[in-house]
Amino acid sequence: MSATLTTKGQVTIPKAVRDLLGLTPGSKVDFVRNAAGDVVLKPADTTVPHSRFAQFRGHAGQGMSTDDIMALTRGDG
């Protein structure tokens, strides 16, 4: 398959490729150069990096004092 580059540097990804990669409007993609020098289109990794606060997201946690919470946010705990 081929696509035409516009004057703005844009291309339309063919539907068969979008379907194969599971791309939908708003999807992010990465362009990666492999060992052979080819540029490969991949869905971008959109996972959020693990945070030391992730286990507390959405609730305050019972039994923690203000001092405990402050120590946690400072990295002391």
pLDDT tens track for 56-76: 666 655 677 888 888 888 887
| Residue 46 pLDDT | 72
Q: Using an 8 Å Cβ cutoff, are 67 and 76 in contact?
A: no
Whole-structure pTM over 0.85, yes or no? no
Query: Which alpha helices (DSSP H) does the chain contain, by range?
Result: 15-21, 66-74
Q: Is 3 helix (H, G, I), strand (E, B) or coil?
A: coil
Sorted by sequence, the CB contacts under 8 Å of residue 27 that are 6+ apart come out as: 43, 44
Note the pLDDT tens digit of each residue in 24-41: 999 999 999 999 999 999
Q: What angle do CA 77, 75, 68 make, to 5 degrees?
A: 45
Give me the pLDDT at residue 38, please: 95
- Mean pLDDT for 9-28 is 93
